[in-house]
Every structure is written in structure tokens, then in C-alpha cells.
Amino acid sequence: DSGVTQTPKHLITATGQRVTLRCSPRSGDLSVYWYQQSLDQGLQFLIQYYNGEERAKGNILERFSAQQFPDLHSELNLSSLELGDSALYFCASSVQQGAGETQYFGPGTRLLVL
């Protein structure tokens, strides 16, 4: 158990819909990262927050947005869903945001768009 929790574990929805994925980092971790894992694209970095502020953006679509709240939990919002958005979405956290920091991953949310 990494100490990072993600809800829900599974999500099935339809194209065009909007969903929210939630992540609670390990106690004391200030940095939260979101990743998308799919068979064809591998593990793709989406976005990072540090202590409530967005710090880095990766391959995140404009239809996707995220935020980190004062209690440090984070939410990833996916809208106008397409079939290709079906994937595993992971959240990870780390104490700081330095290059040598270990990331602790949650169990993931499996999203299926029908």
C-alpha cells in the first residue's frame, strides 16, 4: 500500500460525458502528478501540482483539467469524453518536486468510455 488513494477504481461512461477522478496523496506529500496509461501510448504524464499550484504540464488535452485543493487532494476532470480516452489514470505523489524525488503511485482508476 503506497498511501495514495484514488477513487473510483472503475468508471464506465458514454461518449460526450464528463467525469471526475479523485486522488488523495500520502500524508505530508505536497506534489501530485497525474498520468494516463494506455496500451498504445504507454505511460503519459499529464500534469503536476505542488502545494496547490500547477507546476508542469505534459500531454494533457484541452478537454482535461485538474486542480489541487488546500487539503492537497487533487481532482482530474475529463470532459467531452471520446472512445480513445479509455485508459488507466494514475495519480502519484512525492514529498517535494525535485529531480531525485520518488513518486508513490495510487492503484489507478480504470476508465471505460462506451
Partner 1 sequence: GDSVTQMEGPVTLSEEAFLTINCTYTATGYPSLFWYVQYPGEGLQLLLKATKADDKGSNKGFEATYRKETTSFHLEKGSVQVSDSAVYFCALSDRGSYIPTFGRGTSLIVHP
| 28 near partner 1, rule: CB under 8 A | no
Ordered alpha helix ranges (H), the chain: none
Q: Which of 92, 93, 111, 113 binds partner 1 (CB under 8 A)?
A: 92
Identify whether the C-beta of residue 111 lies closer than 8 Å to the C-beta of residue 83.
no
Q: Give min distance, CB of 82 to partner 1, in A.
A: 23
105 near partner 1 (CB under 8 A): yes
Nearer to partner 1, 67 or 79 (CB): 67
The binder of partner 1 chosen from 7, 58, 77, 83 (CB under 8 A) = 58
Instruction: Give CA–CA dist 11/67, Å, rounded.
Output: 20
72 grid coordinates = 492537497
Closest distance between partner 1 and the C-beta of residue 16, in Å?
A: 29
Is residue 49 near partner 1 by the rule CB under 8 A?
A: no
Per-residue binding letters, 60-89, with partner 1 (x by CB under 8 A): ------------------------------
CA distances from 51 to 18, 30, 56, 63, 85 (A): 26, 5, 13, 23, 28
CA distance 94 to 62: 25
